Structure 1
Amino acid sequence: MSLSVSRALPVWLVCVLAVACATVQTTAPGTVGVERKQTVSPLVNRNSLNRQAALQYRQVVTNAERKNALNVDLHQTERVRRIAARLTPAVAAFRPDAVGWKWEVNVLASKEVNAWCMPGGKIAVYSGLIEQLKITDDELAAVMGHEIAHALREHAWERASQAVNAQLGLTVIGIALGASGASMDMAGMAYQAMFALPNSREQETEADRIGVELAARAGYDPRAAISLWEKMGKVSGGAPPQWLSTHPSQESRQKDLAVYSAKVLPLYEQAKAH
């Protein structure tokens, strides 16, 4: 007895998506206890994603250099790199392998209030973040720790996997229904997930918590994360900047940061004593 397309389709979809999923633990939980296991797709090659990130970072740096917007203020650049040099050894608490990443840190001259860290440790801080927020070293460590946490947790890999699995499901449906042109642009999906699609709120909360621990272990006051987001709210007129649009609300974020900064305060005190 043959099955109709409408009845066979769920079986197709379940089988394909089951093959296309795997569960990984990208980091140790640390003192803050980030223990969520992440679902990724073997169809998204982790090493290829990291190579693509490195190429994209090089393009951003090259374009900034051509516009005379790369590391214009040597004092700013030295300051950011000094903080990064203290943060990067602290990543060993979550991922010992990340200590050996080819870390790179640059400051881009821009009015935009922004910072990011690509997979593999490629960091960019925008001068607008430093100047508009009149940011302290502790607050800058909070921002950079947060962005480094995204790289440690490989959130880009996770987002790319979600995007590919969604496209895979559409492709299976298209084939089952006899649609022409059902295809899956893996490279395009990975690019979108890394550079265009926002982090989920769950990912942002993880980055907040890991970020305060990285800052504390590096000898920066983790409580500065709270004042940082207060400044963010003021500079954006009460609404989060576009790059923070999926972040938790300011109220819930501050409550969570208060709890977790207190939890890692002994690490800060210990680091300051040495």
Structure 2
Amino acid sequence: MGLSFFKNTPMAISHKKTIATGQSRRTTFALVSSAENSTTDYQKQYGYIEDIKDWRGYTAGIIGFTSKNGDLRQVILKYQKLRPNNRLVRYLPALKRIEGTATHKGLGPNFVKDWHKVANDKRFIQAQDIILDQQYMQPALKAAKADNLGPLGQYIYYDAIVVHGPGNDNNSFGGIRRKSKKLADSYNQAIYLKTFLKVRSKVMRKETAHQDLSRIKTQQKFINEKNFQLKRPLSWTMYGDKYH
């Protein structure tokens, strides 16, 4: 199936407008933050860090970079370039050693305290934004552009890549997208996005931390409302909490 056929159907939506900038970016970040941090105030999440017991070690920052998959280390490497000899540099060797595991060895409470201490440093915030855009936002937008998806589809792709990672195995964003394109039986964008969410739901249920499918139900709600431009006002429920 080729989703480029969307551009020849009434459901086609221009991808010239993206969630990379402006209000669409702020809306997307607020939506993701409501799921990741139980608040729409995403700008205060750069200093967030904890072990959420999902076997990914520490989860930290605006979108939950983790010590296990290495993007948390990438943030600190970028921060080192922007502000050399910062207080997090000393943890780089430990982060490299534990990559791929859920251990805290070499990090611990001091790492958490130091992460909090640099939370308001503009260079630290910039480092997180750079890694976020490089590893998550741009890959999501590239895939959405290829599939001719508008802002809602872009947000759905971005949220998936944040949670599942940008890989190509069956449990990562690439695998979910690949299977969805095979299963979707229509070139209608709404039907495809619902298929994508159905495939993603099965992947999420494999993890204890993601048994609650609030983020999927929220995205299904926006599809049913035909809000493909992700225009405000928006109302949604995330893990029992109501947002607007």
TM-score of the superposed pair, with normalisation by structure 2: 0.29
Higher fraction of helix: 1
Structure exhibiting the larger radius of gyration computed from Cα positions: 1
